[in-house]
Structure formats: C-alpha cells, structure tokens
C-alpha cells in the first residue's frame, strides 16, 4: 500500500490528481445524489487506480444554481452531502490510503443565499455591506439599463437589478456567471479577511490544498471599462485588448498572500489555478511565490491534431520552465464534453453548443479509441496530470439527455441555444446489474443514467485485462515506475519516416520512447519492448495502427 510521505514536499510536481464530482460519484443514503460518505466507501477504487490525490468539487451549502459553485457558506457541508464529521472521516480514510485531498475554493463569487450578500441586499446603497460586492447604479432612464455592457459567461447581461427594501427598483450587482452568483469585490479588505478564515478552516481540517475556481477573474479593471464581447474557452485579446474582467495584475498579490498562509502550515499544501488563459499568461500565476499549479486548458482544448498537439506541448513546457513550475495536463473535467465523446466527432459539430438528443451523435468506437490514445499520450508527459471521474471507465458524454432534465443554468440563460454541462456529470456506473448501476439504492438519480451505462461499470471492467480501467491502471503504474513525471521530453523527429511523419508524434521521456499515430495509416514501430499500448491490437506485425499510442523501452 502507498503511504503519504510528509517529507515529500514536492509531491505536487509529479502528482496525478483525480477529480471527484461529489453529486455524481456515489450515493450512500439512497436519495439519488452522491455524498461524502459515498465517496469514502469508494475510495479504494481511486487508490487502486494509482493516483496521488483527489480534488473534490464543491460540497458546501448551496442552492445548486450552478452545481454548488454558488456557495452559501464556505465553512460547512451541505446536508445533502453529509456533515463536517463525514468530511473529516473522508480525509482520514484518504490519508490512510495514501491519497491527498484538495478542495475547491470559489473566491470570485458566492451564492445569493450567502449571509453577507443577504446583508448587502438589506443594506442601503453606499453601505459597507454593499461594498463587499460590485453594486452600481444603472444607466439610461431611471437607471433601467445595466451599469456596463459586460456579458455573463452563462449568457445575458452580467448585471441584475435588485428591488430595494422599500420596494423601489434599485441598484444592480455584478455576476460574471449566474445571477445566483454575485461577484465579490476583492478591493474590499473584509472580503480578503473572510477568505483567509476559509483557507485556515480547511487547512486546519488537514486538506492538502485548494483548486481555485475562476481565480483569474477576481480583480476587475478599475472603472469597469466597456467589454461587449462574450467570453468562451481560453481568454484571448480582442482588438489587441484583454477583457477587463480577466487576468488583472492585482490577482497576483492575492495569490502571494494565500501562498504565505499555506506555507505556514505543516506539510506541503498546494494551490491549483483554474484560469482559462494562454500558457504564457497562465505561467505567471505559478511563479515561485504564487500558486503551485495551473490547469493547462490550452491542452484540454486541442482537437485530435498532431501538429497542434506537438506545438502546445512544447509551448506549455517552455512557458512553465521560465518560472520553474511543473506543467500540468488535463483532457476532461466537469465543464467540458468527456474526451471519449469529444474525439468521436470529426469536427463538423459545434461542440461549444453541446449535443442534444436530436443532434448527430458521436462515433463511440472512434471516440473511445482516440480517448485511450490521448490518455496514453498525456500520461507520458512530464509534470502533473488531472483525471476526471469516469474517464478511467471510458465513459462517454451523456449526449442523448432529454432537455427537460437539464440542470445546468447555461441551458436556460442561453435561451436554449447552449445545452451545457450535464452530460459529463451523470452519476457513475459501479456495478452493471444493480439499481442505478450501483451508484445509489434508488433508481431516481439526480440526472438519469443512460440505459447502456452498465456496460461501462467498474465491476465489468475490473478483471478484464483489456478494459479501459485496466489500461488506466497500467499507464499510471508505468508512468511512476519509469519516472516519467520528472524526465525531460525530447522530440524524436527521425523515429518515423515517410508521408505520415507530420501526423505522428514521437518523443523520448527519460528511458521511454512514445509513438502516437494520429495519421490515417499504420506506421512502423521502432525496435524495443512495448510496455504500454492504448489498445490491445495497437501493434500488428510491427506496425502501429492509426489512433493508437505505444510506450517502448
């Protein structure tokens, strides 16, 4: 069994971190919703995979207007997920299994049910209570238009008008996401103090770190200058200008301040940035005295295209090297279409808008084949990697969900033009023959599971050496055994000759040679012992098939 080495201060540089979406992992009390006790019961599945840490998406009290990313109380557990005692038990059990625990910190916005936002609503314009948020008078006749032209990430204006206590139409408040998620004003020292307490609260409960939600939006440009454009995916300049709500210089002071708090605790506690920025901007967040890691969303956003993948790997490593941070890699999370389905499209479908039951469905076999290849490639890259629950089962996106069960606010806010993220949040299948495939003792799960989910269940894959689950376990074990995370990556241009060369990725990482064939034809495999193949039939007669990856020593 693995044990946590408290002296391994650099554990995060090489870690594989497994994301749990608590609502959909495992339900212990039969109400159809996952919970903390359910996670604790299933921890051995995560430990057996061979990962280093678990990141828990929010489990805090919340009206669930944005899947818990609308936090009503930062220092409590939502009764639907259990109690603080359940949380402590989860941390203890995880630590005993050699798994570290990272929790989600949501500092850009809270819920409109947060006590301090309610206090702001009850207080007068210009009051200290309102100053903790971004309240402003409207423009236009009688203040009936929003203070600025900013757009919400979920569609519609980023401002909502309130009714004052006396019943009159009042001020507006800023919410970059749902109206249920008012943005904090980080220029206000009380907001900072509030979050210091929250950090200490969870650090005292022995968490190993925080994944920091939309950390690049916390500080807004002074005066909130005009920005009429919607923002999707990795943030890019428009007309030479960066959006005034993202990546402002002031965020770095906050991160440095937090880093000092974390460093004052025993062991190494880490910060991981969620910031949809290009690699060279993301790297500034992981300078030595700021956060430890940042998600590599440039990598996650790539199509199945060798040239672009090669360029982004090179660029990501270079950008992080300038600041001495490890590069991270990620293919799936709770905000994007699962990669087993994403790679099952040939590019003709607008994936941004999501997929509904009447849309063209992804090619399942191709998607899974490419997903396994993409994972074999990702886990061969030096640094740290993030996995999202269910990807180790090759789980497809729920692309045939009926629209009337959707919960993601994006669907309503976009006027039913963007389907949203429910398809990657469907409860996991654990056992093929049980009610709710072993997720819950109730068949009424909070999002319905597709009828064919049983075929992906953990118990079906457990002892099948060719299953996706077995493949993930092997890849994670080999990654560790061959010291991949700490190795240097060098491209092997000469390894593959011929017309397909551009569409084949070949590189060495330490003692391992990796060949990824993204071309349409088979290519010759260099000599050596094949230690990992993305498919059982990846190599036939010395030739590596299309959409397959091998590791060779």
* Residue numbers at the binding site for ligand GLC (CB under 6 A): 66-67, 69, 106, 177, 213-214, 274, 334-335
Kindly give, in sequence order, each residue whose CB lies less than 8 Å from that of residue 136, ignoring residues fewer than 6 positions away: 147, 148, 159, 171, 172, 173, 174, 224
Q: Specify the 3-state DSSP secondary structure of 289.
A: coil
Considering the complex, state which of residue 66 and residue 208 has its C-beta at the smaller distance from ligand GLC.
66
Considering the complex, state which of residue 214 and residue 484 has its C-beta at the smaller distance from ligand GLC.
214
Give the DSSP H or E segment for 268: none
Beta bridge partners of residue 507, listed in sequence order: 491, 514
Considering the complex, state which of residue 33 and residue 328 has its C-beta at the smaller distance from Ca ion.
33
Residue whose pair of structure tokens reads 């990824």 in the numeric block: 516
Torsion of CA 215, 219, 220, 223, to 10 degrees: 180
Could you tell me the smallest distance in angstroms from the CB atom of residue 275 to ligand GLC?
10
Could you tell me the smallest distance in angstroms from the CB atom of residue 443 to ligand GLC?
27
Considering the complex, state which of residue 418 and residue 515 has its C-beta at the smaller distance from ligand GLC.
418
33 binds, among ligand GLC, Ca ion, none (CB under 5 to 8 A by kind): Ca ion
First vs last C-alpha separation in the chain = 26
Considering the complex, state which of residue 49 and residue 436 has its C-beta at the smaller distance from Ca ion.
436
**Nearest residue to Ca ion, using CB?**
35
Residue whose pair of structure tokens reads 């055994």 in the numeric block: 481
Considering the complex, state which of residue 178 and residue 547 has its C-beta at the smaller distance from ligand GLC.
178
CB 32 within 8 A of CB 446: yes
73 binds, among Ca ion, ligand GLC, none (CB under 5 to 8 A by kind): none
Could you tell me the smallest distance in angstroms from the CB atom of residue 410 to ligand GLC?
8
Could you tell me the smallest distance in angstroms from the CB atom of residue 211 to ligand GLC?
9
Considering the complex, state which of residue 22 and residue 50 has its C-beta at the smaller distance from Ca ion.
22
Sheet holding 523-524, edge to edge: 523-524, 543-544, 539-540
Could you tell me the smallest distance in angstroms from the CB atom of residue 246 to ligand GLC?
12
Considering the complex, state which of residue 35 and residue 216 has its C-beta at the smaller distance from Ca ion.
35
Largest interatomic CA distance in the chain: 80
31 binds, among Ca ion, ligand GLC, none (CB under 5 to 8 A by kind): Ca ion
Beta bridge partners of residue 515, listed in sequence order: 506, 550
214 binds, among Ca ion, ligand GLC, none (CB under 5 to 8 A by kind): ligand GLC
13 binds, among ligand GLC, Ca ion, none (CB under 5 to 8 A by kind): none
335 binds, among ligand GLC, Ca ion, none (CB under 5 to 8 A by kind): ligand GLC
DSSP string, 341-408: HHTTS-S-S-GGG---TTSPPP-HHHHHHHHHHHHHHHTTSSSEEEEETTGGGTPPP-TT--GGG---
27 binds, among Ca ion, ligand GLC, none (CB under 5 to 8 A by kind): Ca ion
Could you tell me the smallest distance in angstroms from the CB atom of residue 492 to ligand GLC?
36
35 binds, among ligand GLC, Ca ion, none (CB under 5 to 8 A by kind): Ca ion
**Nearest residue to ligand GLC, using CB?**
69
Could you tell me the smallest distance in angstroms from the CB atom of residue 440 to Ca ion?
7
Could you tell me the smallest distance in angstroms from the CB atom of residue 432 to ligand GLC?
30
Could you tell me the smallest distance in angstroms from the CB atom of residue 329 to ligand GLC?
17
Could you tell me the smallest distance in angstroms from the CB atom of residue 376 to ligand GLC?
26
Could you tell me the smallest distance in angstroms from the CB atom of residue 368 to ligand GLC?
25
Considering the complex, state which of residue 420 and residue 454 has its C-beta at the smaller distance from ligand GLC.
420
CB 325 within 8 A of CB 348: no
> Residues 21-50 vs Ca ion: string with x where CB under 5 A?
------x-x-x-x-x---------------
Could you tell me the smallest distance in angstroms from the CB atom of residue 421 to ligand GLC?
7
C-alpha span between 440 and 28 (Å, rounded): 7
422 binds, among Ca ion, ligand GLC, none (CB under 5 to 8 A by kind): none
The site that binds Ca ion (CB under 5 A) totals a number of residues, namely 5
Handedness of CA 419, 424, 430, 433 (dihedral sign): positive
Considering the complex, state which of residue 106 and residue 476 has its C-beta at the smaller distance from ligand GLC.
106
Considering the complex, state which of residue 90 and residue 506 has its C-beta at the smaller distance from Ca ion.
90
Judged by CB under 5 A, the stretch of 20-28, 88-96, 253-261, 410-418 that binds Ca ion is 20-28
213 binds, among ligand GLC, Ca ion, none (CB under 5 to 8 A by kind): ligand GLC
Could you tell me the smallest distance in angstroms from the CB atom of residue 66 to ligand GLC?
5
Considering the complex, state which of residue 46 and residue 272 has its C-beta at the smaller distance from ligand GLC.
272
C-alpha span between 238 and 98 (Å, rounded): 46
29 binds, among Ca ion, ligand GLC, none (CB under 5 to 8 A by kind): Ca ion
CB 483 within 8 A of CB 510: yes
DSSP string, 474-504: HHHHHHHHTTGGGSPEEE-GGGS-SGGGGGE
CB 111 within 8 A of CB 121: no
SS (H, E, C) 205-251: CCCCEEEECCHHHCCCCCCCCCCCCCCCCCCCCECCECCCCCCCCCH
Q: What are the b/e assignments for 58-75, b being 16+ CB within 10 Å?
A: bbbbbebbbbbbbbbbbe
Kindly give, in sequence order, each residue whose CB lies less than 8 Å from that of residue 67, ignoring residues fewer than 6 positions away: 21, 23, 57, 58, 334, 407, 408, 421, 425
Considering the complex, state which of residue 421 and residue 533 has its C-beta at the smaller distance from ligand GLC.
421
Distance set, CA 545 to CA 125, 369, 412, 518, 550 (Å): 66, 11, 43, 9, 10
What DSSP character marks residue 536? T
Binding site for Ca ion (CB under 5 A): 27, 29, 31, 33, 35
């Amino acid at each position: 069994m693995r044990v946590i080495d408290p002296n391994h201060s650099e554990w995060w540089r090489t870690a594989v971190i497994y994301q749990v979406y608590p609502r959909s992992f495992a339900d212990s009390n039969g109400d159809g919703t996952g919970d903390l006790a359910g996670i604790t019961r299933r921890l051995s599945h995560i430990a057996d995979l061979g990962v280093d840490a678990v990141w828990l998406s929010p489990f805090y009290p919340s009206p669930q207007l944005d899947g818990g990313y609308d936090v009503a109380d930062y220092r409590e557990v939502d009764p639907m997920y259990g109690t603080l005692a359940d949380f402590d038990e989860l941390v203890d059990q995880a630590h005993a299994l050699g798994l570290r625990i990272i929790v989600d910190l949501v500092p850009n916005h809270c819920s409109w049910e947060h006590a301090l936002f309610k206090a702001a609503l009850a207080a007068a314009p210009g009051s200290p209570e309102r100053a903790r948020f971004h309240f402003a008078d409207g423009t236009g006749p009688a203040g009936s238009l929003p203070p600025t032209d900013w757009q919400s990430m979920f569609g519609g204006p980023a401002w909502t008008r309130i009714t004052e206590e006396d019943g009159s139409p009042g001020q507006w408040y800023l919410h970059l996401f749902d109206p249920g998620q008012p943005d904090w004003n980080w220029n206000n020292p009380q907001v900072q103090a509030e979050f210091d307490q929250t950090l200490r609260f969870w650090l005292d409960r022995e968490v190993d770190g925080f994944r920091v939600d939309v950390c690049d939006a916390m500080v807004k440009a002074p005066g909130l200058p005009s920005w009429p454009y919607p923002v999707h995916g990795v943030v890019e300049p428009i007309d030479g200008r960066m959006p005034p709500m993202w990546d402002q210089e002031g965020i770095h002071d906050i991160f440095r301040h937090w880093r000092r708090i974390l460093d004052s605790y025993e062991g190494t506690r880490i910060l991981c940035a969620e910031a949809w920025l290009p690699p060279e901007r993301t790297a500034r967040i992981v300078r030595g005295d700021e956060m430890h890691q940042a998600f590599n969303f440039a990598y996650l956003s790539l199509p199945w295209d060798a040239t672009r993948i090669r360029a982004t790997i090179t660029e990501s490593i270079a950008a992080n090297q300038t600041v001495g941070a490890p590069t991270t890699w990620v293919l799936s999370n709770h905000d994007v279409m699962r990669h087993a389905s994403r790679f099952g499209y040939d590019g003709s479908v607008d994936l941004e808008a999501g997929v509904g039951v009447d849309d063209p469905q992804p090619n399942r076999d191709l998607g899974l084949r490419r997903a396994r290849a993409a994972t074999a490639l990702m886990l061969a890259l030096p640094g740290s990697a993030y996995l999202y629950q269910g990807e180790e089962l090759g789980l497809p996106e729920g692309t045939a969900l009926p629209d009337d069960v959707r919960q993601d606010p994006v669907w309503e806010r976009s006027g039913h033009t963007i389907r949203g993220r429910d398809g990657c949040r469907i409860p996991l299948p654990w056992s093929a023959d049980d009610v709710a495939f072993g997720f819950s003792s109730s068949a009424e799960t909070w999002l319905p599971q597709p009828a064919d989910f049983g075929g992906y269940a953990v118990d079906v894959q457990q002892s099948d050496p060719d299953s996706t689950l077995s493949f993930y376990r092997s890849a994670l074990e080999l990654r560790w055994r061959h010291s991949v995370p700490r190795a240097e990556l060098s491209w092997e241009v000469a390894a593959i000759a011929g017309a397909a060369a551009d569409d084949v990725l070949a590189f060495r990482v330490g003692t391992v040679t990796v060949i990824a064939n993204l071309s349409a034809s088979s290519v010759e495999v260099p000599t050596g012992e094949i230690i990992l193949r993305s498919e059982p039939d990846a190599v036939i007669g010395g030739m590596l098939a299309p959409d397959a990856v091998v590791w060779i020593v």
